[in-house]
Amino acid sequence: MEIFSPFGNDIMHIIKNRKIDKSYQIYFALYQGLTGTEESQNAYKEFSPDFFDLIVIDEWS
């Protein structure tokens, strides 16, 4: 994701295939990358409700 390159790879993590590394400061993900049809696929549940300071949601059409 070249558009986010100013953040740098040292602090930014792109969540893919529901694999989460909690050692970063900034996370990017698609809804599909955080949820699934099975309960075990709901990767978002790995984060506690107070884990994030800010969440930005952008809907692309």
18-45 residue pLDDT tens: 888 888 888 888 888 788 888 888 888 8
Q: What are phi and psi of 37, to 5 degrees?
A: -80, -25
Quick check: 48 and 54 in contact, CB under 8 A? no
Each residue's pLDDT tens digit, 41-56: 888 888 899 998 988 8
Q: What is the pTM of this model?
A: 0.65
How far, CA to CA in Å, does 20 sit from each of 14, 17, 45, 46, 60?
9, 9, 11, 8, 23
